[in-house]
Amino acid sequence: MNSIFLRLYLVIVLTIVVVGIGLDNIWQQLSPSSQTLSHPESIIKIVALQLNSISSDSLPRALNEINRLADGEFSIIKGDIQLSNVLENQSIKTTPLFTEHADELVGLIKLQQGEILQYTFVNTNQSEEFKIPFILLFYSIIAAAVFLWIWPLSKDLNHLENAVKGFDSQQWNSKVDLPSTSSVNHLAQAYNALLERIQLLVETQKAMSHSISHELRTPLARIRFSLQMAEESNNIELIKDQLSSVTEDIAEMNELINELLSFAALEKVSVVAKLERGNINHLIDSLIHRLQRNSVHKNIEFIASEQGNSVYCDSYQMERAIQNLVVNACKFSQNKIRVDFNLEQNAGDKYYLLTVEDDGPGIDGEQKDSVFDSFVQLGPQTEQQGFGLGLAIVKRIMVLHHGDAMVSDSNLGGAKFTLRWRRPKQLS
């Protein structure tokens, strides 16, 4: 809002300055006041020139004839020695001396006969009347300039208001598209970003509600069936098998709840990545050593680099992201999994690159666009494992690092997941 006020202030001030200077120049050229003296001065000079050629005795009769035709009144002043000396001392004796009294302009000039010719001209003050249109024009231009600035602003604010009203009626596609020159374009961008965030949260909530009900219904049905079988049987071995099945289903439900809690925690707006310098080589080595115990038939290879000895990241969240990628690769790979860490330079900036790839069946092109969405499961329906939150958590962790998560085809034949985030400049 401060920028809007500043723009309006500058528009008004600059308009006043520019219009004021322009009208002042026009006024100086066209104002009658600039011509007030030129007309009476010419008249009194002409009359004085005519009177200089006649005798003193003929002056009264000549003045009567001139007064009948002139705009003002001519008269002769005699005996004023002081005034005569003043006019005699004029640098140019033929130049009249003018004085202004109220609405009258009085001109004095000394004749060759020694008399003083006085010309009284009534000043009609046309300049004041001529000034009114300029004043009206001045304020009209200012009003027009302010209107031309405020009118588009008002239209843009109306668009924004209508979009907010549409948002109240749950019209989630009510985005505001304003030109980049608009004074409220930043408000429209903030509103659109908020709208996208809310849309994502609503869609995630819907997907979560649907998936939770589906994922919980299956183990609950199995638990109910196992308990019913155990109740109706006297076979100790059968009862143990059913209770063991119940334990597995409870563990599955507990895993789902933990995944949901982790995902919900990362979705909080207040969550930020605690970036610290650490050794990501040691982190990945330790992680692979633990995961290798549960995947003894998989060959997990880690290609370390010197740049991995000093990396800026949230070690806890990054470990979670790498673990999800490696566990996901173990599910779909045939034998080989490769983890690689390196540093990339692009346009003066350096980026961390961490890749996890496998020799599995890979990911279809249609699924690559949605692979990081929540509750999206890869593979055929009959082979799907997990709850579809692992890669969504990876994506969210990279967002907190102001980075990105990408998927492509691997040279090993399967999928290649890449985590990319910027290295701070102070480490470069």
What is residue 11's three-state secondary structure?
helix
Q: Higher pLDDT residue, 301 or 373?
A: 301
* Angstrom distance (rounded) from CA 428 to CA 425: 5
Domain regions of the chain by residue span: 2-127, 201-266, 276-427
C-alpha dist (Å) from residue 281 to 98, 310, 354, 399: 100, 9, 11, 22
Q: What is the mean pLDDT of the chain?
A: 77
The CATH number assigned to the domain with range 276-427 reads: 3.30.565.10
Give CA torsion, residues 304, 307, 310, 312, to 10 deg. -100
Q: What percent of the chain has pLDDT over 90?
A: 11
The reply to whether CATH 1.10.287 applies to domain 201-266 is yes
pLDDT tens digits, 18-51: 777 776 677 666 655 444 445 777 887 888 888 7
Give CA torsion, residues 188, 189, 194, 198, to 10 deg. 90
pLDDT band at residue 250 under the 50/70/90 scheme? confident
Q: Is residue 405 a contact partner of residue 398, using CB atoms and an 8 Å limit?
A: yes
Predicted pLDDT of residue 238:
84
Two tokens, residue 142: 């200012």
For the chain, report the end-to-end CA distance as a whole number of angstroms. Answer: 38
* Angstrom distance (rounded) from CA 256 to CA 296: 25
Two tokens, residue 179: 């030109």
Predicted pLDDT of residue 35:
44
Q: Which of 159-168, 333-342, 360-369 has the highest mean predicted lDDT (pLDDT)?
A: 333-342
Q: Using the 8-state DSSP alphabet, how is residue 21 labeled?
A: H
Two tokens, residue 151: 């009118």
Q: Is residue 405 a contact partner of residue 393, using CB atoms and an 8 Å limit?
A: no
Bridge partner list, 419 = 354, 405
